[in-house]
């Protein structure tokens, strides 16, 4: 007996047939004696299609209109999911972000949840109804619909779980948990039974696509346990929760890579105080999500300033940099779009000296050229050429002893077998 939030991604609701499968799973959770609230993404490629329609009409669609447009995707899938549940003789009711009481700030396309008024959902549960909530969206103080950014449905699920005091927040997708690396790149990657919020947060921020970083942050802040699992099997997935002694004691939890970022270098910047502030406050106020920042050693009073940001933010970043260049008396800037970031993540790094040295040696032994380096207490990221990303991930995975005895395909067996083999593997 529990109260469970179950979130399904776009692939899981891509067709009427898949929506029926989602409905059946929700009903089976219910039949197992639980109360359940569903959170759904938009069907398959709906969001991309809506973006395409907008692009046909306006190069820079107004953010308020864009959010309103995109929010219809989840509003379609939520009603269809509710209809499917009702067709099996159970009661269901859909809730848009606004109806579910998801209140946000006014930052369109990247809104942050400020409050969850879950009264209507609780009332529906009390009446025996299965509530189906539209992911990815909320409503701001002006009554306008906002969206939480791509992947924001995970955040909706965690926020709803917190708002109703759920026992678990199950996030269903086409992968069955969190792996030590992307199994498509590293066939010897293995699935983690559990991972701490901190490590998951670093992995998500570093490009592991399974869970949205903001969702993990929200879960950590409000102590919501996430269970990342597969829509297509009953295997146990990976629990994301507070670090505890039962978790694996490896130095490194996993390796993530991200090919979606670009590198921008501003050359010959005068080495004066206030220059970096000018650049990065201008970028921030234009909503460019700067990731890594590196300033090279100064030569003759001039230096190079390099940062990375999502490729999607590049047009805005170019505009800002071109506007700021004369104000900071810099000469020129260069963009490199063929880069990849590889990150090794693990809370164990704090107490294990030599992680960086080991990583750099492994990369050097394999002739991987490092373009940028950045570190946090539990993460080491290197930027390499996009052409070397798979090699870099594989050699680091091996160097840190993460390779499993068996390759990925063999593992899609059962949770028990997997756990046994994983324990043997280390």
Q: How far apart (Å, rounded) are the C-alpha atoms in residues 92 and 87?
A: 10
Stretch touching a second copy by CB under 8 A, among 65-73, 214-222, 301-309, 333-341: 65-73
Q: Of 59, 244, 249, 357, which one interacts with a second copy (CB under 8 A)?
A: 59
Binding mask 13-42 for a second copy (x = CB under 8 A): ---x--xx----------------------
C-beta of 46: minimal distance to a second copy in Å?
10
Q: Of 6, 82, 158, 345, which one interacts with a second copy (CB under 8 A)?
A: 82
What number of chain residues touch a second copy (CB under 8 A)? 36
Count of alpha carbons within 13 angstroms of residue 231, beta-carbon side: 23
Q: In what order do the strands lie in the sheet with 379-385?
A: 254-258, 339-345, 379-385, 370-376
Written as six digits, the tokens of 98 are 């606004």
Q: Of 58, 233, 272, 361, which one interacts with a second copy (CB under 8 A)?
A: 58
Stretch touching a second copy by CB under 8 A, among 81-89, 258-266, 294-302, 376-384: 81-89
Written as six digits, the tokens of 366 are 């394999």
Taking CB under 8 A as the rule, does residue 376 contact a second copy? no
Count of helix runs (H) and strand runs (E) in the chain: 12, 20
Stretch touching a second copy by CB under 8 A, among 55-63, 164-172, 196-204, 378-386: 55-63
Q: Rank residues 11 and 79 by Cβ distance to a second copy and give the closer one.
A: 79
Compute φ and ψ for 6, nearest 5 degrees.
Answer: -125, 115
66 sits in which H/E element? helix 63-87
Q: Of 3, 14, 21, 54, which one interacts with a second copy (CB under 8 A)?
A: 54
Q: Rank residues 50 and 373 by Cβ distance to a second copy and give the closer one.
A: 50
Q: Of 3, 14, 21, 72, which one interacts with a second copy (CB under 8 A)?
A: 72
Taking CB under 8 A as the rule, does residue 106 contact a second copy? no
CB neighbours (10 Å) of residue 166? 24
Taking CB under 8 A as the rule, does residue 141 contact a second copy? no
Q: In what order do the strands lie in the sheet with 293-295?
A: 293-295, 302-310, 261-270, 332-336
> Angle 242-247-250 (CA atoms, 0-180°, nearest 5)?
120
User: How far is residue 382 from each of residues 59, 352, 394, measured CA to CA in Å?
Assistant: 34, 19, 14
Interacting residues toward a second copy by CB under 8 A: 16, 19-20, 50, 53-54, 56-59, 61-62, 64-66, 68-69, 71-72, 75-76, 78-80, 82-84, 86-87, 92-94, 96, 99, 143-144
């Amino acid at each position: 007996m529990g109260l469970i939030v179950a979130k399904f991604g776009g692939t899981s609701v891509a067709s009427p047939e898949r929506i029926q499968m989602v409905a059946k799973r929700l009903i089976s959770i219910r039949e197992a004696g639980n109360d359940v609230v569903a959170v759904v993404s938009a069907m398959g490629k709906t969001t991309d299609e809506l973006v395409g329609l907008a692009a046909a009409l306006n190069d820079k669609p107004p953010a308020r209109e864009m959010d309103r447009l995109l929010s219809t995707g989840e509003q379609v899938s939520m009603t269809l999911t509710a209809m499917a549940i009702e067709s099996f003789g159970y009661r269901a009711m859909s809730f848009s972000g606004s109806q579910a009481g998801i209140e946000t700030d006014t930052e369109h396309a990247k809104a942050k949840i400020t409050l969850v008024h879950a009264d209507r959902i609780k009332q529906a549960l009390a009446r025996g109804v299965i509530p189906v909530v539209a992911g990815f969206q909320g409503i701001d103080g002006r009554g306008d619909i906002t969206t939480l950014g791509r992947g924001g449905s995970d955040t909706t699920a965690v926020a709803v779980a917190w708002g109703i005091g759920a026992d678990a927040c199950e996030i269903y997708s086409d992968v069955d948990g969190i792996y030590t690396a992307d199994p498509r790149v590293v066939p010897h990657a293995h699935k983690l039974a559990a991972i701490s919020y901190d490590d998951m947060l670093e992995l998500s921020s570093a490009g592991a696509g399974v869970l949205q970083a903001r969702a993990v942050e929200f879960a950590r802040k409000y102590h919501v346990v996430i269970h990342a699992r597969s829509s297509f099997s009953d295997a146990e997935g990976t629990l994301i929760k507070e670090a505890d002694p039962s978790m694996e004691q490896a130095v490194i939890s996993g390796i993530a890579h991200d090919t979606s970022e670009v590198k921008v270098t501003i050359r010959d910047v005068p080495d004066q105080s206030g220059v970096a502030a000018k650049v990065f406050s201008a970028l921030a106020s234009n909503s460019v999500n700067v990731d890594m920042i590196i300033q090279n050693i100064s030569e003759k009073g001039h230096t190079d300033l390099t940062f990375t940001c999502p490729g999607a933010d590049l047009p805005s970043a170019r505009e800002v940099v071109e506007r700021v260049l004369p104000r900071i008396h810099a000469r020129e800037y260069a963009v490199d779009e063929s880069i990849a970031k590889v990150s090794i993540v693990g809370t164990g790094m704090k107490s294990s000296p030599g992680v960086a040295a080991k990583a750099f040696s492994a990369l050097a032994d394999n002739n991987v050229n490092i373009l940028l380096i950045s570190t946090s207490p539990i993460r080491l990221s290197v930027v390499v050429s996009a052409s070397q990303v798979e090699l870099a991930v594989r050699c680091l995975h091996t160097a840190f002893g993460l390779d499993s005895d068996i390759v990925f395909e063999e593992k899609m067996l059962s949770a028990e077998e997997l756990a046994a083999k994983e324990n043997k593997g280390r």
